[in-house]
């Protein structure tokens, strides 16, 4: 079967024939129908978070179950599912305390990648998934059922971008209905912070980004106001919209220090700053330390929207079916696997919400 293999950091991927090990007792083999390109795939492929190569990336996927390990009872052959990088045991300290993305249990797939070339060379399962390939073998916890009639390309977005953004609002911050919120960065994750905040009823819901096009899109995804991050008196404008107090919640969707500092400045006293974007390794955040205590602010990190797939997926699907969660509208373009480098280049250039690799 075919996969896009990354052999050198920052270089185009090569389409190669690969093979998969059969699924272990608690693993499944999935035929991939769609896999969206996420910025994390590109960051890893560029080497900014370290890691080893060669690897197959792709972790925002959907498909159908082809084979189940002998202890899997959750799925049957042919079931439509999304496939995520969230590999979790469901019972460790973190899984039990609502932070399944931090699960620290050990899985057989950590010891042995299931992917190799036809010649037997081991390929790393990038982001625990390796879904820029026709099939994957993953832990059973990495999949969740989707309805038969849900389009695979739209469903794939639920695997990462949507849950990271909307989950940061609803799960991590447990945002209070009727609060006001600012979302900094209106790319894939930021638009989904907006969608999550909109579902909770945030008012006003203010989008901040550098690019005018993204601000336009933000308004379509639920923002009530949109401002350029370079706007001179941005703090003042946001205070005016919030009875002079500042933001109850600020969600920073990008891994950018300036955006995080700006978020800190826009908060009201006792407001909550939620950081959902990841910077490169080694970057430091220079905050005015006295303001943290004196203003009683809360600073929270959000990893994958504190998602518990089993708990959360039914509600995201319901919101999609009710028209409250836009997924189809998030797709910019669809590409076959053979054109993946073109799709990645378009993402790098920006102005892409989600490009999706689709399989026959
Ligand atoms: Zn992702
Ligand atoms: Zn766990």
43 lies in a domain? yes
Residues 216, 88 share a domain = no
Confidence (pLDDT) at 354: 93
Confidence (pLDDT) at 48: 87
Spell out, as residue ranges, where the chain has pLDDT lower than 50.
Answer: none
Confidence (pLDDT) at 132: 98
Confidence (pLDDT) at 351: 76
**Total domains, the chain:** 2
Residues 280, 176 share a domain = yes
Confidence (pLDDT) at 281: 87
Residues 104, 199 share a domain = no
> From ligand 2's centre to the CA of 36, what distance in Å?
26
Q: Which protein residues have their CB within 5 A of the ion that is ligand 1?
A: 38, 40, 160
Q: Which protein residues have their CB within 5 A of the ion that is ligand 2?
A: 88-89, 92, 95, 103, 105
Residues 201, 128 share a domain = no
Residues 339, 263 share a domain = no
308 lies in a domain? no
Residues 86, 194 share a domain = no
- Which CATH number belongs to the domain containing residue 102 in this structure? 3.90.180.10
Ligand nearest to the CA of 278: 1
> From ligand 1's centre to the CA of 188, what distance in Å?
9
Residues 215, 285 share a domain = yes
Confidence (pLDDT) at 10: 95
186 lies in a domain? yes
Tell me the C-alpha distance between 316 and 161, whole Å: 12
Residues 194, 135 share a domain = no
Ligand nearest to the CA of 59: 1
312 lies in a domain? no
Burial class (CB in 10 A: 0-12, 13-18, 19+), 214: buried
Tell me the C-alpha distance between 56 and 34, whole Å: 15
352 lies in a domain? yes
> From ligand 2's centre to the CA of 22, what distance in Å?
24
Tell me the C-alpha distance between 170 and 328, whole Å: 21
> From ligand 1's centre to the CA of 134, what distance in Å?
19
Residues 273, 181 share a domain = yes
Confidence (pLDDT) at 11: 96
344 lies in a domain? yes
Is-contact 104 43, C-beta < 8 A? no
**Residues contacting 171, CB < 8 A, separation 6+:** 98, 302, 305, 306, 307, 308, 312
The pairing of strands 55-56 and 122-125 is parallel
Residue 39: both structure tokens together: 């910025």
- Which CATH number belongs to the domain containing residue 271 in this structure? 3.40.50.720
Residues 273, 184 share a domain = yes
> From ligand 2's centre to the CA of 82, what distance in Å?
20
Tell me the C-alpha distance between 40 and 45, whole Å: 8
Task: Tell me which H or E stretch contains 301.
Answer: strand 298-301
Confidence (pLDDT) at 216: 95
To the question of pTM greater than 0.85 for the whole model, the response is yes
125 lies in a domain? yes
Residues 154, 173 share a domain = no
Domain of 100 in residue numbering reads as: 2-159+326-358
115 lies in a domain? yes
Dihedral angle of Cα 181, 183, 189, 193, to the nearest 10 degrees: 10
Residues 112, 175 share a domain = no
Q: What are 214-235's pLDDT values in tens digits?
A: 999 999 999 999 999 999 999 9
């Amino acid at each position: 079967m075919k996969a896009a293999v990354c052999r050198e950091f920052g270089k185009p991927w090569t389409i190669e024939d690969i093979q998969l090990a059969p699924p272990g007792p608690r693993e499944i083999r999935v035929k991939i129908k769609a896999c969206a390109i996420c910025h994390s795939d590109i960051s890893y492929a560029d080497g900014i978070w370290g890691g080893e190569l060669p690897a197959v990336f792709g972790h925002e996927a959907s498909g159908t179950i082809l084979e189940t390990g002998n202890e899997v009872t959750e799925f049957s052959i042919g079931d439509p599912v999304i496939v995520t990088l969230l590999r979790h045991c469901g019972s460790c300290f973190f899984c039990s305390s609502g932070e399944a993305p931090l699960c620290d249990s050990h899985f057989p797939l950590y010891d042995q990648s299931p992917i190799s070339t036809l010649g037997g060379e081991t390929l790393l399962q990038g982001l625990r998934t390796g879904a820029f390939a026709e099939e994957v073998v993953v832990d059973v916890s990495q999949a969740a059922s989707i309805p038969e009639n849900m389009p695979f390309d739209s469903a794939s977005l639920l695997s990462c971008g949507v849950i990271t953004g909307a989950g940061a609002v609803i799960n991590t911050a447990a945002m209070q209905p009727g609060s006001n919120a600012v979302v900094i960065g209106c790319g894939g994750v930021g638009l989904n912070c907006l969608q999550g905040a909109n579902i909770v009823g945030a008012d006003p819901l203010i989008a901040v980004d550098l690019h005018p096009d993204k601000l336009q899109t933000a308004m379509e995804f639920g923002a009530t106001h949109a401002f350029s991050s370079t706007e001179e008196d941005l703090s003042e404008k946001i205070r005016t919209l919030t009875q002079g107090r500042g933001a109850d919640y600020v969600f920073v969707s990008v891994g950018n220090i300036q955006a995080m500092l700006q978020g800190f400045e826009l908060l009201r006293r006792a407001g909550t700053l939620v950081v959902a974007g990841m910077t490169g390794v080694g970057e430091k955040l220079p905050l005015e330390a006295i303001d943290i205590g004196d203003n009683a602010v809360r600073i929270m990190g959000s990893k994958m929207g504190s998602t518990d797939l089993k708990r959360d997926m039914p509600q995201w699907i319901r919101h999609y079916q009710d028209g409250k969660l836009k997924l189809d509208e998030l797709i910019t373009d669809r590409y076959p696997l053979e054109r993946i480098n073109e799709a990645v280049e378009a993402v790098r250039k920006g102005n892409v919400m989600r490009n999706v690799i689709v399989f026959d």
